[in-house]
Amino acid sequence: MRPIQLRDRAKYIQGDFRFRRVLSMKNARKLMKTLVEKEMRNLKRINDARIRCPIVHDKKLHVLVMDFIGKVGYAVPLLNDVALSIDKLREGYRE
């Protein structure tokens, strides 16, 4: 997973009613903690819908501990970085 760029962090949670109480987007630590909470909730919702994704095991401040998807030291590529055939795209969509 690519890290969210500094300039995009506030945009990531902006407009999400779950995070409307974050008082200051200028406080980097509070913002990072909020981003981690959002990511954790999103991954849990995805997993609850039985869509394959990393399982979150723990959260501490601004760090998520989750499953590694890949093979011994090599992460699977991001969908953005993979050229998939129409059939593979359809298969992934149905899944």
Element (H, E) at 36: helix 28-48
Spatial separation of the C-alpha atoms in residues 11 and 62, rounded to whole Å: 17
Q: State pLDDT tens for residues 46-66.
A: 999 988 888 999 988 788 899
82 lies in some domain = no
Residue 34 is part of which domain span?
6-68
23 lies in some domain = yes
Q: Which of 6-10, 30-34, 74-78 has the highest mean pLDDT?
A: 74-78
56 lies in some domain = yes
Q: Which of 32-36, 59-63, 82-86 has the highest mean pLDDT?
A: 82-86
Total of domains in the chain: 1
68 in Cβ contact with 75 (< 8 Å): yes
